[in-house]
Amino acid sequence: MAARPPSPLRKLVPPVPSKKTPGKQAAPAKAAAQPIPLESLPADSWTVTDAQAGFALDRVIKEHFAEFSWNRARSMIEQGKISCAGAQVTVPIHVVAAGDEVDFLPRGTKRQNAPRKSAADGVEIVFQDSQIVVVHKPAGIATVPFEDSERDSLDKRVALLLGSKGRAARLLVVHRLDKDTSGLLVFARTEAALQNLKSQFRFHTTQRRYVAIAHGSVQSRTINSRLIQDRGDGLRGSTKNPNLGREAITHVRGIESRGAVSLIECRLETGRTHQIRIHLSEAGHPLVGERVYAKGFRGEILAAPRLFLHAAELGFTHPTDQRALFFESATPPEFKDFLSRQKKDPRPVISLEKEVSLQPVRYQPGRLREHQHLPVAAAKSRPGWQRAKSASGKRMKAPASRIPDKSRG
C-alpha cells in the first residue's frame, strides 16, 4: 500500500518553539520556605514596657517576634519555652505587668519538669445531676477540639472531672462558647437530655445574658440582621438579602460609659455563631479584645488581655423533671480591672439606680420568655422564684412555677 502524503495544512501551521534552551537546564521549582525550628534560635530576654502592661503574653511574644504567626507565638508558650517574671508560663492569655522580664528559652525545660495542666484549671462545676452538668468556662479554652490533634478542650476537662479512676465520663455537647469567651455552659449526660436541651435552644426558650466591654458609647438598641458565613472577605457577617442567611436578634443595653469604652449587656433571642461580636462590630462598636471582626473600625483599638465577653446568665427547663433552672456568674475580675483604668464619664449611659429595660415581650411558642427582656433587678423580684444551692455552693434560682412548654402552646 502506498504511503499517505502529508496533509497540506501542516505547511500552514508554524512549529511551536520549544521552551527549553539548548545547553541549559530548567531551574528547579522553589520550595516553600520552612519556618526555622525554635530550637535553632538564640535565647532572648526583654522587659515588658508600660505600654504593654495588661496585654496577654501571646501578644507580647508576637510583637517581639514580628515575623512569627499567632499560632507560633502561642505554641512557644504552650511548649514551655517562655518564662515571665522568673516563672515558666504555659497559658497564652497570661496577663503581663510593666517591668516583667520575659525570657525565651529555645530548648525550654524538660518535659517532666513542666507544670501539667489539671482538669480543674479554671473549670468550675456549678450544678450537676444524672442528666445535665452546668459549668463555668474560663477564657482561652475551646468548648470542643477545633482539630483532631487538639488535646485540651472544655468538654475533655469536664469529662475527666466527672469520671472516676482516670476514666472520662460521657458528655454530650449542647451548645458552645467561643474560645476567648468565659461564662456558663450546659452539657448533657444522656441522649434524651441532649435532644430536649437542643430543642430548647432551637426554639429560643432559653435565657442567656452576656456582659461585654465595647469600644465607644453604646446606646440601648435591638440589632436584627441575617447572618451568612461569608460576607465577601471570608468572614461571617450580615446580608441585606432576605433569602440568604439566618435571622439573628441581639438586645443590647448600655450600662455605663467609661472614656472610650462602654460596659454593656446583651440578651440573645437567637444563638448564631459569633452573633454578638458581629452585631456590635457592624454597629461600629467592636468588643474590646476583638481580633477578627474589628477591621474597619475608625477609632483607636484598645489593647486587652482577652476578649471582654462573658456569659453571665443561663436559664432553661430541666429536661426530665421540668424545673426551670437559672444560673448566674459574677463578672470576671479582669473586666473590673480594665474598667478601673478607664476615665469615668460624668453620667452613665443608663443610671444603675434606675434600670431601663427593653420593651417586654410576652411569651410565645418559639420566642423568648417574658422575664428575659426584663432588667436583672426586675427578674429577681418576680414572684415564684426561689433560692437554692448548687453543688459548688453557688446560688441559683429555680421558679416554683413551670416554664411554658412549646408543645403545650
CB 282, CB 250: distance < 8 Å: no
Question: Distance between CA atoms of 71 and 78, rounded to whole angstroms?
Answer: 10
Residues 6 or more apart from 355 whose CB is under 8 A from it? 375, 376, 377, 378
Residues of the chain with pLDDT under 50: 7-13, 110-117, 346-409
What confidence tens digit (pLDDT) does each residue in 169-180 have? 889 999 999 989
Q: Beta 385-389 vs 324-328: how paired, if at all?
A: unpaired
What per-residue string of b and e applies to 272-300 under the rule 16 or more CB within 10 Å gives b? bebbbbbbbbbbebbbbbbeebbeeeeee
- For 218, the enclosing helix (H) or strand (E) is none
What confidence tens digit (pLDDT) does each residue in 284-313 have? 999 999 988 988 788 888 888 889 999 999
Annotation says 178 is catalytic: yes
Res 267: pLDDT: 93
Question: Distance between CA atoms of 381 and 392, rounded to whole angstroms?
Answer: 24
Could you identify the residue written with the cell 460576607? 231
* Nearest CA among 286, 341, 345, 334 for reference residue 50: 341
Res 248: pLDDT: 92
Q: What are phi and psi of 259, to 5 degrees?
A: 60, -120
Q: Which of 178, 180, 337, 345 is catalytic?
A: 178
Could you say which of 3.20.20.70, 3.30.1330.60, 3.30.70.270, 3.10.290.10 is the CATH number of the domain covering 38-110? 3.10.290.10
Question: Distance between CA atoms of 158 and 143, rounded to whole angstroms?
Answer: 10
Q: What is the DSSP letter of 386?
A: E
- The three three-digit cell numbers of residue 18, written as one number: 520549544
Q: Is the pTM of this model over 0.85?
A: no
Res 150: pLDDT: 67
Res 345: pLDDT: 55
Angle 70-78/57-64 helices, nearest 10 degrees? 120
Domain boundaries, the chain: 38-110, 124-211+276-344+370-408
CATH number for the domain formed by residue range(s) 124-211+276-344+370-408:
3.30.2350.10
Question: Distance between CA atoms of 37 and 58, rounded to whole angstroms?
Answer: 18
Res 177: pLDDT: 94
